[in-house]
Structure 1
Amino acid sequence: MSTETRFFDIAALARTLPETAETMLTDLRLTDEHDASCRIFRVYRAVPAHYHTSSDEYLYVLTGRAEIHIEGSEPRIIGPGELVFFKKNTVHAMPRIVEEPYIVLAIDTPRRPPEDVHFVNPADGTPASFIKTY
């Protein structure tokens, strides 16, 4: 059993994400354990419908606002202090950034490998065009 403890200044770390990116998102992995991964990510442009096969996802909005579409729910605008949860294989998208910077704290259970992104329309992107990890 690991006794490793880590503390994170989330606001300070969020400020280290780049102002612009070639990818739709950039992220900074805080933990990357088998049972869960935790990261901060910034969204730079519309994210097409996609899903992840490896993990459930918790998204806690730190800054900004965006429109989110989650399969089985009405589209809505989410902003700071809101938490969204959905199960693996749930199609979701962020078609519009309303207020920037749009930065989210994400917890994936179990761990989500960076390459686990599957676009509903494969022409919309690849893991390499989806996210860059710092």
Structure 2
Amino acid sequence: MAESGSDAPPTRGRFDIGAIAAALPESATTMLVDTYLTDRPAASARVFRVYRPTPAHYHEGCDEYLYVLSGRGTFWIGDASDEAEFGPGQLLVFERGVVHALPRLIEEPVVFLSVDTPRRAPTDVIFVDPGTGTAQSFMARNAHRADPA
């Protein structure tokens, strides 16, 4: 979907979200795999599939808007006592710094359309318990990056 001659996501366009979601791999060694639709300083838009539960974490640099395209699971925002089921057509919204988690996958594939504002750097993920994940185990695009020193 990149502009001609570039690997960077386009700055504008029309996207077949269903086709993009269908092209995501059936399995992954990371918690999620994503495809950027746009990636500008003001905001980024992505389609991502979740392959396993994601432990409590937060993002320092952006607010996140997650529209559920397919699948069902449970999600909590701010506190584990907020855990509730989600499904297609629902929108999950939270500000930067707010801890959130996806403890259970009920029906797969779990796929989201995400809008992050401002742009969310791929490595912007901080796990509450560092033993539960890293940027490299969180997202496939980070798997090749060296762990920070």
TM-score > 0.5 by shorter chain = yes
How far the C-alpha of 1:52 sits from its partner, in A, is 0.1
What residue in structure 2 maps to residue 84 of structure 1?
92
How far the C-alpha of 1:5 sits from its partner, in A, is 3.2
What residue in structure 1 maps to residue 124 of structure 2?
116
How far the C-alpha of 1:120 sits from its partner, in A, is 0.1
What residue in structure 2 maps to residue 127 of structure 1?
135
What residue in structure 2 maps to residue 39 of structure 1?
46
Runs (5+) with no aligned partner, structure 1? none
RMSD: 1.4
The structure whose RCO (Cα within 8 Å, separation 6+) is larger is 1
TM-score (norm 2): 0.85
TM-score (norm 1): 0.94
**Residue pair 2:12, 2:38 contacting (<8 A) in 1 also:** no
* AA in 2 matched with 1:20: S
How far the C-alpha of 1:132 sits from its partner, in A, is 1.4
Residue 140 of structure 2 aligns to a residue whose secondary structure is: strand
* Structure 2 Cα separation of the partners of residues 127 and 29 of structure 1: 17
Runs (5+) with no aligned partner, structure 2? 1-10, 142-149
Identity %: 53
Q: Deviations for 1:45-71, whole angstroms, at most 9, x for unmatched residues?
A: 110000000000000000001100111
Structure with greater proportional strand content: 1
Matched pairs, number: 131
